[in-house]
Structure formats: C-alpha cells, structure tokens
Chains A and B, each alone.
Chain A
C-alpha cells in the first residue's frame, strides 16, 4: 500500500485516498469552439507516462481536498506532493531504483525531499 502525504493532513495510508488521474489538464474554456478531435483529446487522451508522472489524488476519507503528486510509475515511488494550483515541481534527479525501493526509500528520499515519502508494506 502506498503511503501518501496529503499537503494538508500529512502522511496517511492509500486507502484514505481516491485517485484523480493525470494532473494539470485544464478543461477548455470554450468547449463549443473545439472540433471533435480536440474534444476527444481532452476527454480521453492521457500521457500514460512510464516514468515521472504528475497526478491528482483526493484525500476523500480525510480532509476531502484534491492535491497533486509526482510519482515514478516504474517504481511507484513518490517524488513530491503539492497543492492544486501550484506549478509542477522540477523533477528531481534519478528516482530510486525499484529493486532497492522497499528498504531504501524512506531515508533516501527524506534526505533530499522533505515532503516525499512512500514505502510499500512488506
């Protein structure tokens, strides 16, 4: 299970959260002006990134607020958490190696990113 750091409430287990998909997708301000292709892009196309991915989470069983996170989808390792409306943080250097993630994640990340912490229950 992921440990997720809500920017408002702190570190909580994944079951308190719902997933909100790709972050930073702005709804078109003039939907009626879009052609079908552009509308389909907004509705259906997601980057499905293999690597560092900006995504939304909602602390549904806590404060109820949405926020954003950066997660490496090859290791499920969080790199940053930030509030909705804030710009995407610069991507930190190499994410932790997935193979060593379970044991090294906590101290490796806390040293470099104060808000970043996730580990997998073993």
Chain B
C-alpha cells in the first residue's frame, strides 16, 4: 500500500469526493517474534526514536510497544511549550537541536504539527529573578541561542494582556524572551511520527504492556515479555516517562528518578487574545492560547510522588491566582478541563539519554516537567545511541554515571518548577 501524501492539492481532491478515500495513517500489526530494535513507550519520544532509527540508521525491523494508545500519556497531556533558552551549554545544545528540528518537522514528516514560533516570554518578579534571567540571556548568547531581555513596558508591548502595574503581589520587573520558542500541536507530533515511522516499516503495537525484560547468560538483553507474548530483540530502548523506574527495574537497573503528578488545565475557548507563551517560574504558571481558542495553563508538580495521573485542586487554584493577577481580564473565564500526567524527575532536572549497565538496553528518561519541547531532538539522539551503541555528541553528557561522578547538569536551581 503506497502512502498518501498530504498536501493542499490532496485536501482539495479528497474534499471534492466528500473526504472519502483517506487511508488509515498507520497499520495495526500483530507483534512479530523478533525485531532488530524495540522501543518501549509510544509517546512522541519513542515514536520519534523509531522514526529516526528507520530513517537515518537504516534499521528496517523495529517495533514500538505501547501499553495504552499512542500519544495517550504525557505527549497528549502537556502544555506544548517549546523553547531552548536553558542555562548550561549542554542543555542549550540539546534543546536547540530540538528547536531546529521543530522548525522543519512538518515538512520532514509530511504532517502538519502546527509548530508556531510565537515567542516564549519568561517573567521576572523579583530582583533575584532579574539577575538569574539576565545571566540566562548572556549564557544563551554565548551558546548561540536567541534570548533577549525585555523591560516591563517592552513585555507589555509583546503581550498586551499582561498586567505590569507595580502594586500587584508579584510585579513584573522584566522578562526574558526567546522569539524562536513557541508551541506545537501535541497530538499531531505523536500521529505524525507514528505515520512516518509506519511508512518506513515500523510496527506500532498498541495495548501491549511490557511485563519483563529477558537477558541472556552474559547479562545482555535478548527480548521483552509483554501482555501480547514474548518479543525478541538484542536492542531495547526504554522511553517510558513516569514509568521508567518500573520498566528499568525489570532489568535490575536503578535510576535516580522520582515520579510526580504534573497538572494542566484549559479554559473555555475564546477569540484570539493571547499572542505568545508566558511563563512564570516564581509563581508557578504558564499560559498560551491554542488554535481552538482555549487558554492552555500549566501548574507546578504536586508535592508527593505518585503514579495516579491526577493531582490536587489547590495546585491549580494557586496557578489560577497567579494567572488572574497577571492577566486580570481572564478572571471571568471558566475552566473546562484539568488533568494530570506522571513526570519522571531527576535530581538535577536534566534528562538521562544513555546506555545502561545492561548491554543492549538504552534509556531516555528524566525529562521531568519539560519533555515535550525536546521531542524531536531527544528522539534523534536516542536513535543514534541505540543504532551505534554510543551516544551522539549532544547527549554524551546526559549519562546515568554523572550522578556518581559529580558532573551534574544542574538546571534545577533556575528551573525547578517550569521548564
């Protein structure tokens, strides 16, 4: 079956025939007994890794195993913010690699992921914030990443709904703006990677929960046990977000991860009012407007570790307090939905994309509260790591051993709540 290509012309053509004749976008294959590589986790990171393994490393026999349905975990639960203005050069390189891939992702996948570089503005509310963000701006310029400092009046000009009065509880003292940052459509990222990977022969197997990892007498990986039978492979890449600890424990690998609920919520849809993304780490709020018109609002993590995909209402209330003060004309909006996802957090708030002590077992985890923005870049370097059994230069610093050796990439101090 040849793959339909999406274009304006194909849309017009199918429209003339009442939109009949669109193909299914990926197959629903039965798992085979053996693959060259298995990816555990069908979110954006896992599907992307399968796509790049097939596209750039020539692997033809790849399976993505997903416990639920693809994109049903954190890929479909985040607030879709994309930026790369991280403090340390290792992080800036990783996230900027991702932003560069975002910029051409729709063309590469022939799928509109609705990447919208509308600008991400991070608000400073205290003298400490001002100093930290200016340090970020200078560090980013040294790393070749765009980031600029705005005075309050300039921030107001960039985002007119913003309240910059001096008499509010957390006045806006300035902002750091990354103009290349923005948002994308999260579901489309999962679907686009799934469709493109499927076209290259990747088997996407949903409702297939991994229940064990099989190892041979030398200790190397030889396959996985799943709810749909045993599947053999000498290479297994784990990209399981909040459940990474659970999966890796099946191979006896212990990682410095803790899983927390992270919540988000959306308002009723309204006309276009909000032109950019605004984040405030200090008062735990980030907000943008989706193309449907809903205001998409993210909160901080709940206090405690959990696997429940839900959190407490007071976390959202706290965030809405901040939103209502910063944007007083949103006070009368009603919130429509809120939900939680489980994020795996490392002690230094930087990810782990690395080989593990078990030969043939690779892990991409620890994205904490900010994994969506990294989806293409993370998937790209993870595929490289799996295919070549060595890290790409960009993910080489993001090892498990850094915690033992003291080479932390400590983004926690500046970005403990919102990435």
Contact yes or no, A19 B303, CB < 8 A: yes
CA distance A90 to B325 in the complex (A): 48
Stretch in B22-30, B76-84, B169-177, B308-316 touching the partner: B308-316
CA distance A74 to B305 in the complex (A): 10
Out of A1, A17, A73, name the residue touching B306 (CB < 8 Å). Answer: A73
Contact yes or no, B312 A53, CB < 8 A: no
B330 at the interface (CB under 8 A from A): no
Contact yes or no, B305 A73, CB < 8 A: yes
Contact yes or no, A48 B258, CB < 8 A: yes
List chain A residues, Cβ under 8 A from B313.
Answer: 1, 121
B379 at the interface (CB under 8 A from A): no
Contact yes or no, A53 B254, CB < 8 A: no
Out of A40, A48, A71, name the residue touching B259 (CB < 8 Å). Answer: A48
Out of A2, A36, A73, name the residue touching B312 (CB < 8 Å). Answer: A2
Query: CB within 8 Å of A: which residues of B?
Result: 243, 245-246, 254-259, 303-308, 310, 312-314, 347, 403-406
A15 at the interface (CB under 8 A from B): yes
Given A40-B403, A44-B347: A76 and B245 interface contact (C-beta under 8 Å): no
A75 at the interface (CB under 8 A from B): yes
Contact yes or no, B404 A37, CB < 8 A: yes
Total count of chain A residues near the partner, CB < 8 A: 27
List chain A residues, Cβ under 8 A from B310.
Answer: 76
CA distance A53 to B307 in the complex (A): 11
List chain B residues, Cβ under 8 A from A15.
Answer: 314
List chain B residues, Cβ under 8 A from A74.
Answer: 307-308
CA distance A44 to B348 in the complex (A): 10
List chain A residues, Cβ under 8 A from B243.
Answer: 50
Contact yes or no, B254 A55, CB < 8 A: no
A106 at the interface (CB under 8 A from B): no
Contact residues, A34-56 vs B (CB, 8 A) = 36-37, 40, 43-46, 48, 50, 53, 55
9 of the cross-chain contacts (CB-CB < 8 Å) are: A1-B313, A14-B303, A37-B404, A40-B404, A45-B254, A50-B307, A73-B307, A74-B307, A75-B308
CA distance A55 to B260 in the complex (A): 14
List chain A residues, Cβ under 8 A from B403.
Answer: 40, 43-44
List chain B residues, Cβ under 8 A from A1.
Answer: 312-314
A64 at the interface (CB under 8 A from B): no
Given A14-B303, A14-B312, A75-B308: A50 and B405 interface contact (C-beta under 8 Å): no
Given A14-B314, A15-B314: A76 and B308 interface contact (C-beta under 8 Å): yes
CA distance A70 to B306 in the complex (A): 12
A98 at the interface (CB under 8 A from B): yes
List chain B residues, Cβ under 8 A from A46.
Answer: 256-258, 305
List chain A residues, Cβ under 8 A from B305.
Answer: 21, 46, 48, 53, 55, 73
List chain A residues, Cβ under 8 A from B255.
Answer: 45
List chain A residues, Cβ under 8 A from B405.
Answer: 36
